[in-house]
Amino acid sequence: MSTEIDKVSEGSVEDGPKNDEIEDEDASVKKIPWYKFDNVAMSRGYCTLGIGRGALVMSNIFLSTSLIFLASEEAGCLNEKGDEVSDDCDEKVYGFKPVSLISNIAIMTGVLSALFMPLAGAMIDYTSFRRQVGICVAVLMILIQAVQIYTVSSTWFAMAMLQALAGFLYQVQVLAVYAYLPEIATTVGQQIMTQQTALFTMTQFGAQCLFLIVVIAISIALGLDDVNTAQVSQGIDVVWTGSFFYWGWLLLPNVPPRHVLREGKLLITEGFSRVYHTAKEIQQHYKRGLRCYFVALIFAESAVNAFTTVAVVFLDEQIGLSGTEIGLFFLVTLLFSLPGSKIGAFVTARSNPNTSWQLCMLSLMLFASGGAIVLDYIPKSLSYLWGAGIGLHLGWFYPTENLFFSMILPKDHEAELAGFYVYCTQILSWLPPLIFTILVEADVNQTYAVVAVSSFLLVSIFSLQCAAHWDEILEESGRSAGKKTEELDSTH
Asked if 230 and 151 count as a contact pair (C-beta separation under 8 A), the reply is yes
pLDDT value of position 274: 86
Domains of the chain with CATH codes: 32-78+93-276 (1.20.1250.20), 286-492 (1.20.1250.20)
Asked if 461 and 362 count as a contact pair (C-beta separation under 8 A), the reply is yes
Q: How many Cβ atoms sit within 10 Å of the Cβ of residue 351? A: 14
Name which residue leads in pLDDT, 197 or 209: 209
Length of the chain: 492
pLDDT value of position 179: 86
Distance of CA 438 to the CA centre of its chain: 24
Q: How far is CA 82 from CA 72, 250, 319, in A?
A: 10, 47, 18
The whole-angstrom separation of Cα 453 and Cα 299 is: 10
The whole-angstrom separation of Cα 20 and Cα 444 is: 59
Helix residue ranges, H only, 350-430: 353-374, 383-408, 414-426
Q: Read off the pTM.
A: 0.85
Name which residue leads in pLDDT, 276 or 7: 276
The whole-angstrom separation of Cα 330 and Cα 60 is: 12
- pLDDT tens string 121-144: 888 888 899 999 999 999 999 999
Identify which of 74, 93, 73, 91 has the alpha carbon closest to the alpha carbon of residue 83: 73
| Dihedral pair phi/psi, residue 88, rounded to 5° | -110, 25
User: Is the pLDDT assigned to residue 35 strictly greater than 50?
Assistant: yes
Name which residue leads in pLDDT, 202 or 155: 155
Please give the single-letter amino acid code of residue 7. Answer: K
Instruction: Select, from the ranges 74-88, 106-120, 233-247, the one with the highest average predicted confidence (pLDDT).
Output: 233-247
Which one-letter DSSP state was computed for residue 315?
I
| Dihedral pair phi/psi, residue 412, rounded to 5° | 75, 10
**Percent of the chain at pLDDT exceeding 70:** 87
Handedness of CA 58, 59, 61, 62 (dihedral sign): positive
Q: How far is CA 59 from CA 54, 264, 316, in A?
A: 9, 44, 16
Distance of CA 191 to the CA centre of its chain: 25
Q: How many Cβ atoms sit within 10 Å of the Cβ of residue 81? A: 6
Please give the single-letter amino acid code of residue 27. Answer: A
Handedness of CA 100, 102, 103, 105 (dihedral sign): positive
Name which residue leads in pLDDT, 414 or 330: 330
Q: How many Cβ atoms sit within 10 Å of the Cβ of residue 271? A: 25
